[in-house]
Structure 1
Amino acid sequence: MSDFADRWTQRLHSGFPLLAAMDVRLVGDARAWQLHAPFDPNRNDHGTAFGGSLSTLATIAGWLYVSVLAGDAFDVVIQSGNAHFVQPLQTGLVSQVTAVSDDELVRFRQTLARRGRARLTVHASVGDGTSEAMRFTGQYVAVRLPG
């Protein structure tokens, strides 16, 4: 596991006890990463992945993406989110974020520098790593921490 993956996995587990119960792991490095969660603790009574686990994993993937972009001097929260469930999932969960455009990234960083807060819309998906079970769009807000 990379230092990036180890540090963020620990932060996710300590900051969000639900993610520890889901056994969420960050896989990859700062340039390319995914969130993984095993099927068993995230299944429902129908033998498929629990929709709440899919939503949680996508929400946290977006939060992590914005947190990495904003840096340690900013707190990030979700403002709104929308999930669209495409098909059932019967394997381990894999979530990934679609990178924002260069223009969006520049606007986000300029607004953060100028106002100390900025919003960013992020698109994520959850599936088995090859096919998509859920699409998620979330709007996140980064706010400069005091001090």
Structure 2
Amino acid sequence: MTVEELTEYINEHIPVTAHLGAKVTFYDGEKLEIHAPLEPNLNHRNTAFGGSLSALAILSAWALLFIKMKEHKLQAQLVIQKSSFDFTEPIEDDFTASCLAPNEADWNKFLTTLNKRGKARIQLDSSIVTAHNEGGNHSGSYVAILQPQSDESS
């Protein structure tokens, strides 16, 4: 799945992302980045609305997990169970949410649990940055529930 296909998918299936101007701009197997323009995310102080920052940070981790599941040919319902966001500085420019893949041990534990129990949880962290500063950090607990594989041969 390309970054363009992932952007199209999230904008179609999570409509608020299109309103936020979310666009997946980078994925290399270890890091995923989603860019958003400031304009549709402005608050009354002419800085980025905190809800937009939080939403994009949550989305970057969700999208990373989504694409990793596709790479492993696993179909799963993905949901965020718990989320926290620490706002560090106001954002006055277009911004990027980025998420790094979990370390190998955590990822392998997640996959083992998912395959054994049909459900697993993993902690993912992301951050919001601009060319000039960092706006905040997100930590979320994401749950995957395996779904039956569709039979594409019929």
Which TM-score applies when normalising by structure 1? 0.92
Moved more, 13-22 or 124-133: 124-133
Partner of 1:97: 99
Give the whole-Å Cα distance in 2 for the aligned partners of 1:119 and 1:140: 6
Gaps of 5+ in 1: none
RMSD: 1.5
Over residues 26-68 of structure 1, what are the superposed CA-to-partner deviations in whole Å (9 max), with x where a residue is unaligned? Answer: 0023434310000100111101000010000001111111222
Partner of 2:22: 24
1:10 maps to 2:12: no
Instruction: Report if aligned partners of 2:32, 2:60 keep a CA contact under 8 Å in 1.
Output: no
Q: After the TM superposition, which segments of 4 or more aligned residues of structure 1 sit over 6 Å from their partners?
A: none
Which TM-score applies when normalising by structure 2? 0.88
Gaps of 5+ in 2: 150-154
Moved more, 69-78 or 54-63: 69-78
Matches within 5 A, 1:122-133: 122-129=124-131, 131-133=133-135
Matches within 5 A, 1:33-72: 33-71=32-70, 72=74
Over residues 74-101 of structure 1, what are the superposed CA-to-partner deviations in whole Å (9 max), with x where a residue is unaligned? Answer: 1100001001000101000100013311
Give the whole-Å Cα distance in 1 for the aligned partners of 2:122 and 2:37: 29
Q: SS of 1:36's equivalent?
A: strand
Instruction: Report if aligned partners of 2:89, 2:133 keep a CA contact under 8 Å in 1.
Output: no
How many aligned positions are there? 145
Give the whole-Å Cα distance in 2 for the aligned partners of 1:6 and 1:30: 14
